[in-house]
């Protein structure tokens, strides 16, 4: 049923949406445009990029650093206790550091390595004996890979021991499990690349396990019923054939140098983004200092 407008409503702008804000909003926008005409640093474009005042005060100088992504990649504020080595063991950070070392040394190794049966092992010998610092380069890659497997497991252990898999971090735990799988797969695919006896037999045994995959392996549960044979099952897809040979080497190389590093990097971005969104690292209960207590008084001598 229509009612008479009250005395206040009748004074409103007829174009108003009814909440009474339109006039003041319109005025503010107009004022903003006028100001911007005089000084572009007061305009919307400028203030949406530079979010602090420009006059030279200690506060503005620190805001200039804190709000700049290049000068301050890390969060401006963190829980003091959450980043203690005693709490994190630093293992997530060290795993990330090792991943960067692996990426850089891996790119340099690619300059000398050909993923073919005739060339691969020769390239390893060449790196070892002839390339300047080649042996150092190869061993940096190898040892960083061994270390990363250990640090990722230790990181997972610490996350478990501190109960950091619990809400709201259960999604990030899931992302972490995928990171662990990709790290292991990177290690496994790298194993074959020297094309030596060690790698050859390791990959022979490893991929033979894929024969027993349920549904997808020709020796696995329900595999034969799904029409799997040694020439069309998941092992065949991994090796690019029914034996560990040149196709397997090429596939391992492409997964190792392109596919897996890209996938792992994408999940790392999600992992780090989630840490921020979940309220930073979980951290122990905050340590209270004496003066945090209300009725604290300095001890008498
Ligand atoms: C490539 C491997 C990984 C990297 C580089 C990585 C990196 C990191 C970093 C830098 C942090 C910050 C805290 C810290 O350093 O401990 C973190 C936190 C976390 N990570 Fe990982 N991580 C990896 C794998 C994993 C795995 C395997 C899991 C578990 C399955 C996991 C689960 C978590 C969780 C739940 C947090 C939040 C912990 C908290 O808030 O206390 N991450 N990760």
0.85 exceeded by pTM: no
Q: Are both 68 and 98 inside the same structural domain?
A: no
Least confident of 25-34, 169-178, 274-283: 25-34
CATH number at residue 236: 1.20.810.10
Q: Is residue 109 part of a domain?
A: yes
Q: Is residue 11 part of a domain?
A: no
Q: Is residue 58 part of a domain?
A: yes
Task: From the CA of 95, give the closest atom in ligand 1.
Answer: 5
Residue list, ligand 1 pocket, CB within 6 Å: 88, 91-93, 95-96, 99, 152, 155-156, 159, 162, 164-165, 169, 172-173, 176-177, 179-180, 183, 268, 271, 275, 281-282
Mean pLDDT value across residues 55-70 = 88
Q: Are both 54 and 89 inside the same structural domain?
A: no
Band (21; pLDDT cuts 50, 70, 90):
low
Least confident of 159-163, 168-172, 290-294: 290-294
Q: What's the count of helices (H) and strands (E) in the chain, helices before strands?
A: 13, 0
Q: Are both 34 and 155 inside the same structural domain?
A: no
CA of 174 relative to ligand 1 center, distance in Å: 10
- Distance, in Å, from the CA atom of 106 to the CA atom of 113, rounded to the nearest integer, reads 10
Do 91 and 155 meet the contact criterion of CB atoms below 8 Å apart?
yes
pLDDT at 10 > cutoff 50: no
Do 106 and 257 meet the contact criterion of CB atoms below 8 Å apart?
yes
Of the candidates 147, 148, 158, 209, the residue with the CA atom closest to the CA atom of residue 179 = 148
- Distance, in Å, from the CA atom of 233 to the CA atom of 278, rounded to the nearest integer, reads 41
Least confident of 5-19, 82-96, 215-229: 5-19
Mean pLDDT value across residues 66-88 = 83
Q: Are both 96 and 69 inside the same structural domain?
A: no
Q: Is residue 107 part of a domain?
A: yes
pLDDT at 29 > cutoff 90: no
Burial of 102 (0-12, 13-18, 19+ CB in 10 A): buried
Q: Is 6 left (phi over 0), alpha (psi -120 to 50) or beta?
A: beta
Position 40 scores a pLDDT of: 78
Q: Are both 135 and 226 inside the same structural domain?
A: yes
pLDDT one-digit tens code per residue, 112-145: 999 999 999 999 999 999 999 999 999 999 999 9
Residue whose CA lies nearest to ligand 1 atom number 29? 176
Band (35; pLDDT cuts 50, 70, 90):
low
| Structure tokens that stand for 2 in this block | 């229509």
Q: Are both 184 and 151 inside the same structural domain?
A: yes
Q: Are both 161 and 223 inside the same structural domain?
A: yes
Of the candidates 251, 125, 241, 240, the residue with the CA atom closest to the CA atom of residue 185 = 251
Top mutation candidate among 79, 92, 262 for ligand 1, by most atoms within 8 Å of CB: 92
- Domain extent, residue 95, equals 85-277
Q: Is residue 80 part of a domain?
A: no
- Cα radius of gyration rounded to whole Å, the chain: 30
Least confident of 37-41, 69-73, 213-217: 37-41
Position 22 scores a pLDDT of: 61
Number of structural domains in the chain:
2
Q: Are both 197 and 67 inside the same structural domain?
A: no
pLDDT at 9 > cutoff 60: no
Q: Are both 68 and 90 inside the same structural domain?
A: no
- Distance, in Å, from the CA atom of 4 to the CA atom of 64, rounded to the nearest integer, reads 54
- The pLDDT mean for the chain works out to 88
Q: Is residue 289 part of a domain?
A: no
Top mutation candidate among 78, 159, 178 for ligand 1, by most atoms within 8 Å of CB: 159
Q: Are both 36 and 177 inside the same structural domain?
A: no
Mean pLDDT value across residues 237-261 = 97
Band (3; pLDDT cuts 50, 70, 90):
very low
Q: Is residue 14 part of a domain?
A: no
Least confident of 28-37, 87-96, 190-199, 220-229: 28-37
Top mutation candidate among 173, 174, 176, 267 for ligand 1, by most atoms within 8 Å of CB: 176
Q: Are both 92 and 237 inside the same structural domain?
A: yes
Q: Are both 107 and 185 inside the same structural domain?
A: yes
Task: From the CA of 180, give the closest atom in ligand 1.
Answer: 27
% pLDDT > 70, the chain: 85
Per-position DSSP letters for 234-251, written without gaps between them = HHHHHHTSSSSSHHHHHH
Do 192 and 248 meet the contact criterion of CB atoms below 8 Å apart?
yes
| Structure tokens that stand for 147 in this block | 């270390």
Do 261 and 190 meet the contact criterion of CB atoms below 8 Å apart?
no
Dihedral of the CA atoms 90, 93, 97, 100 (nearest 10)? 160
% pLDDT > 90, the chain: 66
Q: Is residue 284 part of a domain?
A: no
């Amino acid at each position: 049923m229509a009612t008479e407008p009250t005395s206040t409503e009748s004074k409103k702008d007829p174009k108003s949406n009814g909440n009474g804000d339109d006039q003041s909003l319109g005025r503010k926008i107009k004022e903003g445009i006028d100001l911007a005409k005089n000084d572009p640093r007061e305009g919307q474009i400028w203030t949406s990029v530079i979010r602090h005042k420009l006059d030279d005060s200690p506060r503005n100088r620190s805001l200039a650093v804190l709000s700049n992504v290049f000068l301050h990649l890390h969060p401006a504020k963190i829980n003091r206790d959450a980043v203690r080595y005693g709490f994190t063991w630093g293992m997530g950070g060290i795993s990330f550091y090792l991943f960067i070392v692996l990426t850089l040394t891996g790119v340099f190794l690619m300059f000398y390595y050909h993923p073919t049966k005739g060339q691969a092992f020769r390239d390893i010998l060449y790196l070892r004996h002839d390339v300047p610092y080649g042996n150092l380069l190869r061993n940096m890659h190898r040892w960083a890979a061994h270390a990363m497997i250990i640090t990722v497991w230790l990181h997972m252990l610490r996350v478990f021991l501190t109960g950091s898999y619990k809400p709201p971090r259960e999604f990030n735990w899931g992302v972490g499990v995928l990171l662990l799988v990709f790290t292991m797969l990177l290690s496994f695919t790298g194993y074959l690349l020297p094309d030596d006896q060690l790698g050859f037999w390791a990959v022979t045994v490893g991929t033979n396990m894929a024969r027993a995959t349920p549904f997808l392996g020709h020796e696995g549960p329900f595999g034969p019923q799904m029409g799997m044979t040694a020439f069309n099952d998941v092992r065949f897809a991994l090796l690019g054939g029914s034996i560990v040979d040149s196709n397997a080497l090429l596939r391992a190389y492409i997964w190792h140098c392109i596919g897996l590093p890209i996938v792992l990097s994408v999940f790392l971005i999600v992992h780090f983004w989630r840490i921020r969104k979940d309220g930073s690292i979980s951290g122990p209960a905050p340590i209270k200092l004496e003066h945090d207590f209300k009725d604290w008084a300095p001890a008498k001598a």
